[in-house]
Amino acid sequence: MDAGGDAGEEGEVLRKALIVFSRVPVPGATKTRLQKNFTGEECAELHRAILMDLKPLTDGEDWDSFVYYTPAGGEAVMRKLLPGAAGYEPQPEKEFGARMSGCIGQILEKGYDACVLVGTDIPALDTKIIGQAFAVMEEKDMVIGATEDAGYYLIGMKKLRDEVFRDQAYGTGSVFADTLEKIKGCGCTYGVLPVLRDIDEPEDVSAYLEMYEAGRLDKKMHTWECILRLNEKYQLHND
């Protein structure tokens, strides 16, 4: 992959890197909030489908991609699901915010000028959104994209801002707002991307079924096929 890009302020090419930040899709240990309605294997199958739909991100021609996974020992699985990345590394064994900060720091230390980190909860996350994120950072210090449940699915920066990740109540409904305040507090310029819906709760699976049926998402996606199977078993419209 070519990590070249548009010229920066001084005419230099911006070296871009994308981090895909994910759990390894192990039954019982991934998508655990979905286990209120589905089996551990079904949750892992759904996560595998999402990862396969995110494969174009690691094929991006305008950036290098790096897959950071947890738990350790899952490299072979992640290589199979997300081939084409420049590197595969276990996430640091720290709390959630410190893990994200640590991964971004490692990538920026490699000499990249801009780093974007995304999670693996949104099957509709595509290269267009990633391109928009890097375009924002041609002019701004940071970029962030919110989820409908008030978290965020993407964060990017050109210089590590560790304070943005500290003292955050991850998994609560104020993460995006709290993070945005920290970005403002460190004096960074920033851009905000479109709000997207992630798949964390059973009602999110039902919502994605409706989006597929309404023609808002590509039915060729692996996630669509997986959700169809879940719908046949659980009648998701009745949730």
Mean pLDDT of the chain: 94
Any domain includes 207: no
pLDDT class of 100 with cuts at 50, 70, 90: very high
pLDDT tens-digit series, residues 23-74: 999 999 999 999 999 999 999 999 999 999 999 999 988 999 999 999 999 9
For tokens 């905000």, the residue is 192
CATH number at residue 53: 3.90.550.10
Radius of gyration of the chain (CA): 17
Any domain includes 42: yes
Any domain includes 215: no
| CA distance linking residue 71 with residue 80, whole number of Å | 16
What is the number of domains present in the chain?
1
Q: Are 67 and 78 in contact (CB under 8 A)?
A: yes
Any domain includes 235: no
Q: Are 196 and 153 in contact (CB under 8 A)?
A: yes
Any domain includes 78: yes
Any domain includes 149: yes
pTM of the shown model: 0.94
Domain that holds residue 138: 16-199
pLDDT tens-digit series, residues 104-148: 999 999 999 999 999 999 998 999 999 999 999 999 999 999 999
pLDDT over 80 (residue 238): no
